[in-house]
Amino acid sequence: MRLTRGRFLKLGAMAGAGLALPLGVLSAPVSRLAASASVVSPSVEPFAVPLPVPPVLEPRRTGEGTDYYEITQKAAEEEILPGMKTEVWGFDGLFPGPTIEARSGRRVVIRQKNELPVPVSTHLHGGVTPPESDGYPTDLILPTGEISTSGHGHGHAGTTSRGFKDYTYPNEQRAATLWYHDHRMDFTGPQNYRGLAGFHIIRDEVEDTLPLPGGEKEVPLMICDRTFEEDGSFYYPSIDPSLEEHGVLAWAIDGVFGDTILVNGAPWPSMEVSNTLYRFRILNASNARVHDLALDPPPSGGKPFVQVGSDGGLLEAPISHDRVLISPAERFDVVIDFSRYPVGKKVKLRNLAGKGKTADVMRFDVVRQEREESTVPEELAPELDFPDPDEAKLTRRFTFIAGGAWGGMSTINFKTFDPQRIDASPRLGATEVWEFSADPEHPIHMHLVHFKVLSRNGGPPGPYDAGWKDTVFVSGGDVRVAARFEGFRGKYVFHCHNLEHEDMMMMANFEVL
């Protein structure tokens, strides 16, 4: 999106009418705003880089019932674009961060050390986590060195630690693909963009017994988009790249879209596969981009993606899809059968919602024949214990309206985020129905709970709403979900996972009483 003169004038007029604008938007010269929107990344030959897989982190020590880890959030140089260096802010300096392999019922304690020049807060997305370890946006870990907290953020009301914080994850939940990422108030967009995201995979006995592809045939795929400067550094349209002042340039208020697609941190990578089944844990870690994934060419004989899991773990039974529509923060656990292609075939994973270069994601090269040792069983998980909407005592309604209409601020029920205001107070153990409506479209995420999608625009749930969800894509209509508020009492957030909307305060609190 370009900043047109008309759009700029509209923003100016709204500011004049007294709406709060992020600092700096209007004081930045128009020439700078317009020029920034047209940064184009150095070109990269697609499918030339092999797909990396993030390393699995070893615990520092293992106690009875608990594994203890240590991660240092720091800057490091990585070769993302061939022959160039990019400074990333990564967990242990890596982008993506190292993968945590956890067992259901076995606690993980992670000491997060902050060696970055800014405050951070680390959230385990999909985790049933006590509030003090949930990575509340204002529960900051301040840097060890000199602190820059003078920024004009949206206000601070959390606890702070200096240098490090120990996060406790009970993992008292079923096997699922979770991920951890930065959640600092007002700065989640730029800090994720620089690389602060990694996988946290929980396994359990139900999953162990299934004959799904495993080992090297079970691959996490973190898909995101970035734009790079000529020198290889990340380009993010912050008003203040030092991240003391928050906010993005006006053209980016409804999301930052990169022109280079990365999978596990590599641009348009390729992966060699045998002609067998593979399991992919797909995460859309983009700030704002929605992916409509398809295989090109499609295999003979029908739907190529066999979905076995959603945000909250295994489905009861597999669901086959022609395409997988995945909005930011959602996870789809899918099996692809490469025996439906001849050896020698090169198969692109494409994004049908992309244009030009962003329509390509990665490529699978079917390079060898191998005996099949996996299957996708017709039953995956025992019947899922979804909340019963008839037991819901309460229906709450939340309307998400994007920033463009509000001079930059994004709202839920016409309110911007206030860490002190509680917008819903469900009782511990209670089932509630929440109705989300969105204008125009928002991936809506609830912390602490997983939910069941009940309906979409008054009709049945959509093809991508199956299973336990913690993030649901609401696109210009209404989605009703049922959630049971179990696990912990305390204050949690729910918000839009378009990170620019989130940073522009499309977030609210619920407190489990």
Binding site for Cu ion (CB under 5 A): 442, 496, 498, 501
Q: Based on CB atoms, which residue is closest to Cu ion, 80 or 496?
A: 496
The DSSP symbol for 116 reads: S
CA distances (Å), 211 to each of 73, 214, 274, 369, in order? 37, 8, 17, 20
Decide whether 271 or 409 has the Cβ nearer to Cu ion. 409
Minimal distance, residue 253 CB to Cu ion, in Å: 10
CB atoms within 10 A of CB 31: 8
Cβ neighbours of residue 375 closer than 8 Å, sequence gap 6 or more: 211, 212, 277
Measuring CA to CA, which residue among 327, 245, 248 is closest to residue 496? Answer: 327
**Residue 310 or 498: which CB sits closer to Cu ion?**
498
Nearer Cβ to Cu ion (123/501): 501
Nearer to Cu ion (CB atom), residue 181 or residue 442:
442
Q: 356: which residues sit within 8 A by CB, 6+ positions away? A: none
In degrees rounded to 5, what are phi and psi of residue 37? -70, -15
What are φ and ψ of residue 56, in 5° steps? Answer: -85, 130
* Longest pairwise C-alpha distance within the chain: 69
Nearest to Cu ion of 350, 501 (CB atom): 501
- Shortest reach from residue 403's CB to Cu ion, in Å: 8
- Nearest approach in angstroms of CB 501 to Cu ion is 3
- Nearest approach, Cβ of residue 119 and Cu ion (Å): 23
Q: How far is the CB of 464 from Cu ion (least distance, A)?
A: 17
The CA-based dihedral angle spanning residues 154, 155, 157, 159, taken in that order and rounded to the nearest 10 degrees:
90
Residue 18's Cβ-count burial label (10 Å; 0-12, 13-18, 19+) is exposed
CB neighbours of 266 closer than 8 A, spacing ≥ 6?
A: 49, 50, 51, 52, 80
For Cu ion, the closer of residues 356 and 414 by Cβ is 414
Q: Least distance to Cu ion from the beta carbon of 506, Å?
A: 5
Query: Is 442 or 445 the residue whose CB approaches Cu ion more closely?
Result: 442
User: Which of 364, 337, 361 has the alpha carbon at shortest distance from 350?
Assistant: 361
44: exposed, middle or buried (Cβ count in 10 Å: 0-12, 13-18, 19+): buried
Distance (Å, whole) CA 361 – CA 324:
13
Q: Which is nearer to Cu ion, 334 or 412 (CB)?
A: 412
CA distances from 167 to 71, 124, 135, 327 (A): 11, 9, 8, 27
> b or e along 80-117 (b: 16 or more beta carbons within 10 Å of the residue's beta carbon)?
bbeebebebbbbbbbbbbbbbbbbbebbbbbebbbbbe
Task: Please report how close the Cβ of residue 496 comes to Cu ion at its closest, in angstroms.
Answer: 3
SS3 state at 125: strand
Q: How far is the CB of 402 from Cu ion (least distance, A)?
A: 6
Q: Of 399, 380, 386, 381, which is closest to residue 449 (Cα–Cα)?
A: 386
User: Whole-number minimum distance, CB 79 to Cu ion, in Å?
Assistant: 33
Would you say 195 or 255 has its CB closer to Cu ion?
Answer: 255
Amino acid at 464: Y
CB of residue 265 to Cu ion, shortest distance in Å: 25
Can you tell me the distance from the alpha carbon of 380 to that of 391, in angstroms, rounded to the nearest whole number? 27
DSSP three-state, residue 32: helix
Measured from the CB atom, the residue of 52 and 404 that comes closer to Cu ion is 404
Nearer to Cu ion, 358 or 498 (CB): 498
Please state the closest distance from residue 321 (CB atom) to Cu ion, in A.
24
Residue 329 beta carbon to Cu ion: minimum distance, rounded to whole angstroms: 11
